[in-house]
Amino acid sequence: MIAIIDYGMGNLRSVQKAFEYTGHGAVITQDKSVIDESDGLVLPGVGAFPDAMKALEAIGLVDAIVKNVERGKPFLGICLGMQLLFETSYEGGLCRGLGLLRGEIVEIPKRYKVPHMGWNCLDIKQEVDLLKGVESGSYVYFVHSYYLKTDEVEQVYASVDYGVEIPAVVGHKNIYACQFHPEKSGEVGLQIIKNFGEMVK
């Protein structure tokens, strides 16, 4: 069973429906015992980084997420849920993230249209299980104003060009994350959701 973590800032039902459509059971929860008993975790997110961290801390889910990821449980971050994995963000001032991966979240330069909203095509850097059946040039759907900067190039599985190179799929060991919304990205997104469900199995 996949636990979709509910901290009040995510496209929860859409993500759940995408998993159900691809044949994988998923429950929306903020119950730590359900999270501990789950086979895989999904952290969605829409909104501002500092608000998300405050919400996770307020309901006591930071330790639950970190503990389960460190145990090796498959984890998928989506959009803001990807950004929260990293050490720091500069959205609304300096804010600490979950620190599960190395890097910082910075604003897309103002010379480009912000937010980065709409379809953009993936440049796949590494073949990983999450991207099985997904080809370079496949279009996925983005909505964000901040992006990841990291020196850990081996953790960037795919990127997109938006004047700056934006990491679009990242990961390390059991951690996977997408800056875009797979649940809004048509057949390509459903393939990614299905791939994660298969990893949880």
Catalytic residue IDs:
79, 181, 183
Structure tokens at 186: 């048509």
Q: Is 196 helix (H, G, I), strand (E, B) or coil?
A: helix
User: What is the number of residues in the chain?
Assistant: 201
Contacts of 29 (CB under 8 A, 6+ apart): 3, 4, 5, 6, 35
47 phi-psi bin (left φ>0, alpha ψ -120 to 50, beta other): left
